[in-house]
Structure 1
Amino acid sequence: MSFPAPPQAPPVWNHTAEQILAEADQLIAANTQLYDTIAAITEPTFENVFAPFVKAENEERGPESIITFYQQVSTDKAIRDASTQAEEKLQQAGIEASSRIDVYRVWEKLNANAAFQAKLDDESKRLLKKVMTTYKRDGLSLPEAARKEVKDLKKKYSNLTLLFNKNCNEELGFLLFTRAELDGVPADVVDGFPAEGDKVKMTYKYPDVLPVLKYATSEETRKRAFLGNQNKLPANEKLLAEIIAVRAELAQKLGYETFSDYVLEERMAKTKENVLSFLGDLKGKLKSGGEAEIAELLKLKNAHLKARGLPESTHYYIWDHSYYSNLMIEQQYLIDDQKISEYFPIQSVVPKILHLYETLFNLKFIQVDENRSVWHEDVIQFSVWKLDNAEPEFVGWVYFDMHPRDGKYGHACNISIVPGYTKADGSANYPVTVVLCNFSKPTKDKPALLKHSEVNTLLHEVGHAIHDLMGKTQHSRFHGTGVSWDFVEAPSQMLEYWTWSPSELKSLSAHYVTGEPITDDLVASLIKTKHVNGGLAGLRQLHFALFDMTLHTVKSAEEATALDLDALWNDMREEISLFENGDTVSKGYGSFNHIGGGGYASGYYGYLYSEVFAADIYYTLFKADPMNVANGIRYRDTILRRGGSRDEMDNLVELLGRAPNSAAFLTEMGVAN
C-alpha cells in the first residue's frame, strides 16, 4: 500500500524565546478581540456567537500548546523560561476572559433561546452545557465584589502551580557515593554516573535513583537515596501549603463546602463521599494481604541480613521495599530484572509496540527519517494512518522523546499538542501528540534496555497517544483524552494487560545481541510475578489518593494552613502503606506534581477508580483473545473515537452490553468481591 503526503504538516519546532512570547501576546490579543465582539452583541445567534467561539477555541489550542510545551523539553533555559512565562500570560489572560460578566450575559441570553438550542446537534449541546457550567464554576453568577475575589484567587493559584511545576522540571539535585557504597547496583548503571573525585554522582532522575533503591545492598545507601529523592524540592513544601489554602478559599467563594466538592462535581465519581467510600472499602480489603506480604518480606530481610553476618531486624522500612521485593522475585521466581531487560532494547520495543497497535486497531505508523520536525535530536517522529478503507486515512502525528536530560519533564507522560476537530468547512484538523519518558540512555556497549516495568510504562503512555490519535470529534475540547479525569487513565490501563499476556509479551521482545525472543520459561515465570506484593502496591496508591483527598476536603483556608504536611505525609504512609519511616521525616509531597500542579488535585483516586473500567473492558473483550481485531476496532470506535463528546458511562454500557462492575478489578487486586 502506498501512502500519500500527509494532508497536514507537523508543527515547526524552531521557536526563539522572543517568538514564544510574541505568539502568546498575539493569541491573547485575538482572544480579547473575540470577547469584545461577543460582548457587544445584543441579539446572540449561532452565527455571531457560538460559531466564532467554537472556531477560536479549536484553532487556538494547538498554538498555545506548542509554545507552552517547550518548558517540558527544551535544552535552552531561556526558551524554557519564555515558555513558562507564556503559559503564565495565557493563564492570566484566560482568567480575565472567563471573568467577563458582559460576555457571560450574552451567553445567558443565547442559552435561553429555544430556537438556537433546537438547531444544535448532540455534541454541540454538550459543548453549550459545558460552557455555561464553566461560567457558573468561574463565579459569574456571584455579586461583583465576590467575582473580583474569585478572579484574584484564580490568578494567584495559577502562578503558584506554574512555579511548583517549574521547580520540578528544573530540579538538578544529586548525591555522591563511593563505588563500595553502591555495591549490588548493576555496573552499567554505576558506570553511567559521572565521576566526582573518588566518588560518583547519582542524580534523582529515574534511571539513576531507581536502580540504587532496587539493587544497593547497603541499607544506609538506600536510605540516603530515598530521603534525598523525597526531599529534593524544599521550595515546593511551602508552595503546596499555599496552593491548598488558595484552593480551599476559592471553593468557599464559589459556594462549595470543599475543593473536592468543586472538583468532583465534574467527574464520574460526583462526590467526595463516593470517592472516600471507594478508597476506604479498598483499603479494608487490601490491608490484611498487605500485612501478610510485609511479614514475608521481613523474613526475607532477616535471612539476607543473617547471611551477611548482620543483626536481624524487627523493622521493614520504606527504603527496604524496592530492594527486598526485587530480591523476593529473583529468589522465588528466578527472575533477574537486568537479564529480562536484555530482551527489550528500546529501538526494537518501540516499533513492536506500534505494530501491536497497528494490528489491534488497523493502523500504520510511518517513521519520518528525512526532514524531521523535532525539538531535539533524540526525538522520533511518525505519521499515523488508519487502514479501514482502500485508501489509507491520515489520522495525525506522534512523537517519542525517550531519554532524560537537564530541564526535561522528569517522569513519563503523554501530552496532546494539537487537538483534532472539524473545521468550519467540514475538513479535519489532525492531532499531534507526544510520548515523554525518561528511560536509561544507551551506553558504548549496550543499547537502551527497558525493564519489564518500563515496557509496561511505555505501552501505557503510547495508549494515551492512541486515544488522542483515534479521537474524531467536532469540538477540540472533547477530542481524544478530553474525557472525565477519573476515566482518562482507563484506556491506557486496559492496554497494560498486553504486557502480561504471554504471546503479546513475547512478540515485544528481541534480545539485543541475538535478536531471539524471550523464552517461554522466562515469560511464564515473569507473569507469575504480576501480583507479587500486589496488596502493598495497592496500598501505596491508596496512600497517595487518601493524602490528596485529606488535603482537599478541608473546609477553609485557615484549616488548610493548619495542616501539618510532614505529619500527614509520613503518618499516613505508615498507617496505610504499612512501611515504617524509622526516625526520619520525608517530604515527598514536594515533588508530587500530580496534585501540586498537574491537574490531579482531589483526583489522584482516579488512577484506582479508572482501573475498575479498564479491568472490566479487558476481561470482557480481550482476556480470552487479546488480539481480537474485531473487538479492538469496536473498542476503538466506541471509546477512543468519541473522546468526551458523549457521556463515558453511556459509551461503556454500549461497549460492554451492560453497566460496568468491579468484579474483574477486585480479581486483579487479589481480593474477594
Structure 2
Amino acid sequence: MSLNLSAAELKTVDDFQPAAAKANAVLTLPDWEQTPDAIEASMNNAIAKANGALDQIGAQDLSKVTFKSTVVALDDLGYQAANAANKATIIKETNTNPAMRAAAENAVKTYQEWAVGIDYREDVYKAVKAFTDTHPKITGEDEKLLKETMRDYRRAGLELPPDQRKEVEQLRKELSKLGTDFDTNIVNSAAPVMFAKADLDGLPESFLASPGIRTGDDVYTVMANVTWQFNTVEENAKSEATRKQLYVIRESLGKHKNVPVLNEMLALRNKIALRLGYKSWDDYQTEIKIQ
C-alpha cells in the first residue's frame, strides 16, 4: 500500500518534539557518515568521549561518590558510542558499497570489544561498589538501576580472582566478534528470489519500481540478504507463501560459513557460563528473565 500525503499532512521532526519532551527525550535526525574514514572516525571519537567519562568516574574520591556520579554517569556515558555503533550496524547491513560495509563492520567490532571492556574497568567498578556499600536509601527506578548494575558486574565476573576475570573478559570479546562475523556472513550472501507481481500483492508501487527489482516480464527479484527489501516484503506482502519463502531463504543465508562460526560460539558460551559458575549458557541467560 502506498501513501500519498499532501504537503499539509507531512510532519517534520519539530512536530514531534513536544511529545518527546514529555519523555525527557530529544529527537534529532542522524548525520550519516559518507566515507569509510568517516565511519572509523565517528566510532573512535564516540569511544574516546565515553572513555573520558569513565576516567572521571574512576578518579573520584571513593568517600564522596554519589548515585549521580557513579551509576547514573555510567548509564549515560555509553549513549554516543552506542549511537555511533547503531549507525555503523545499519551501514554494515544496507550500504551498497563494499568498502563502506567493511568499514562499518570493523567499527561495530571495535565498539563491541570496547563495550565488553567497560565491565572490567576496575577503577569504575570500585567507585560504583563504594557507593553501593553506603547502603543508600533509594527506591523505584534508581534502586532497580543500582541492583541491575551490580548484578551485571557479577555476571561479568568482577567477583572472580583477577586471572579468571581476565579469561572471561577475553572469552566475551571473542564471542562478540564471532556474533558480528555471523551477521556479516548473512548480509554478504547474495540470495535473489524471483516472484511474479501477483506474489507481491500488497507491496507499494514505489518498491516494485525500485532499481533492480523488476528484472523481466512479470518477474520481480527480491534480495533476501538485503535487509530493507526483506523487511518491506515481510511487512507488506499479503501472501503468506511469499513471506514464508523469503523468510526461510533469509534464515538459511550463509549457512555453509556460519555452521563453523556457530559451533565456535556455542563452545565459547559454554566456557563463559562455566567460568562464571553457571551450569550452562541457558542458566546464565535465563537468570535475568526470572528475577
Answer whether TM exceeds 0.5 for this pair: yes
Aligned to 2:101: 80
What are the superposed Cα offsets for residues 503-556 of structure 1, whole Å, 9 maximum, x if unpaired? Answer: xxxxxxxxxxxxxxxxxxxxxxxxxxxxxxxxxxxxxxxxxxxxxxxxxxxxxx
Please report how far the alpha carbon of residue 13 of structure 1 lies from its aligned counterpart in structure 2 after TM superposition.
2.6
Aligned to 2:36: 17
Aligned to 1:134: 152
Q: Percent of pairs identical after alignment? A: 23
Q: Contact conserved, 2:109 with 2:177, CA < 8 A, in 1? A: yes
Aligned to 2:123: 102
Instruction: Show the 5 A alignment for 1:352-367.
Output: none
What are the superposed Cα offsets for residues 413-448 of structure 1, whole Å, 9 maximum, x if unpaired? Answer: xxxxxxxxxxxxxxxxxxxxxxxxxxxxxxxxxxxx
Change (3 A) 1:212 1:152: same
Q: Which amino acid aligns with 1:103?
A: V
Aligned to 2:74: 53
Aligned to 1:264: 286
Please report how far the alpha carbon of residue 81 of structure 1 lies from its aligned counterpart in structure 2 after TM superposition.
1.8
Which of 220, 233, 238 does residue 260 from structure 2 map onto? Answer: 238
Counterpart-to-counterpart distance in 2, 1:231 and 1:27: 32
Which of 116, 120, 145 does residue 163 from structure 2 map onto? Answer: 145
Q: Identify unmatched segments of 5+ residues in structure 2.
A: 1-7, 18-26, 201-207
Change (3 A) 1:124 1:150: same
1:38 correspondence with 2:57:
yes
Q: Contact conserved, 1:171 with 1:233, CA < 8 A, in 2? A: no
Counterpart-to-counterpart distance in 2, 1:56 and 1:204: 36
Counterpart-to-counterpart distance in 1, 2:251 and 2:222: 10
Counterpart-to-counterpart distance in 1, 2:254 and 2:148: 39
Aligned to 1:541: none
Instruction: Show the 5 A alignment for 1:579-594.
Output: none
Change (3 A) 1:73 1:100: same
Counterpart-to-counterpart distance in 2, 1:228 and 1:51: 40
Counterpart-to-counterpart distance in 2, 1:229 and 1:66: 23
1:123 correspondence with 2:141:
yes
Change (3 A) 1:67 1:263: same
Counterpart-to-counterpart distance in 2, 1:133 and 1:148: 18
1:160 correspondence with 2:178:
yes
Counterpart-to-counterpart distance in 2, 1:229 and 1:212: 18
1:27 correspondence with 2:46:
yes
Please report how far the alpha carbon of residue 16 of structure 1 lies from its aligned counterpart in structure 2 after TM superposition.
2.4
Counterpart-to-counterpart distance in 2, 1:54 and 1:213: 42
Please report how far the alpha carbon of residue 232 of structure 1 lies from its aligned counterpart in structure 2 after TM superposition.
5.0
Counterpart-to-counterpart distance in 1, 2:28 and 2:214: 40
Question: What TM-score, normalized by structure 1, do the two folds share?
Answer: 0.33
Q: Contact conserved, 1:173 with 1:232, CA < 8 A, in 2? A: no
Counterpart-to-counterpart distance in 1, 2:84 and 2:251: 35
Q: Which amino acid aligns with 1:235?
A: K
Q: Contact conserved, 2:54 with 2:77, CA < 8 A, in 1? A: no
Counterpart-to-counterpart distance in 1, 2:83 and 2:254: 33
Q: Contact conserved, 1:98 with 1:135, CA < 8 A, in 2? A: yes
Change (3 A) 1:12 1:122: same
Matched position secondary structure for 1:149: helix
Counterpart-to-counterpart distance in 2, 1:250 and 1:40: 30
Q: What count of residue pairs does the alignment treat as equivalent?
A: 245
Which of 90, 93, 109 does residue 69 from structure 1 map onto? Answer: 90
Q: Which amino acid aligns with 1:25?
A: N
Structure with greater helix share of residues: 2
Change (3 A) 1:211 1:94: same
Q: Which amino acid aligns with 1:75?
A: T
Instruction: Show the 5 A alignment for 1:468-547.
Output: none
Counterpart-to-counterpart distance in 2, 1:211 and 1:241: 37
Q: Which amino acid aligns with 1:69?
A: I
What are the superposed Cα offsets for residues 173-194 of structure 1, whole Å, 9 maximum, x if unpaired? Answer: 458xxxxxx9xx7465699674
Q: Which amino acid aligns with 1:92?
A: E
Counterpart-to-counterpart distance in 2, 1:76 and 1:167: 16
Change (3 A) 1:203 1:146: same
Aligned to 1:439: none
Change (3 A) 1:200 1:65: closer
Matched position secondary structure for 2:288: coil
Change (3 A) 1:98 1:232: closer
Please report how far the alpha carbon of residue 202 of structure 1 lies from its aligned counterpart in structure 2 after TM superposition.
7.8
Q: Identify unmatched segments of 5+ residues in structure 1.
A: 176-181, 216-221, 271-673
Counterpart-to-counterpart distance in 2, 1:173 and 1:79: 20
Q: Which amino acid aligns with 1:112?
A: D
Q: Contact conserved, 2:81 with 2:111, CA < 8 A, in 1? A: no
Q: Contact conserved, 2:182 with 2:261, CA < 8 A, in 1? A: yes
Instruction: Show the 5 A alignment for 1:205-216.
Output: 214=241
Aligned to 1:170: 188
Matched position secondary structure for 2:278: coil
Change (3 A) 1:59 1:159: closer
Counterpart-to-counterpart distance in 1, 2:55 and 2:249: 53
Aligned to 1:254: 276
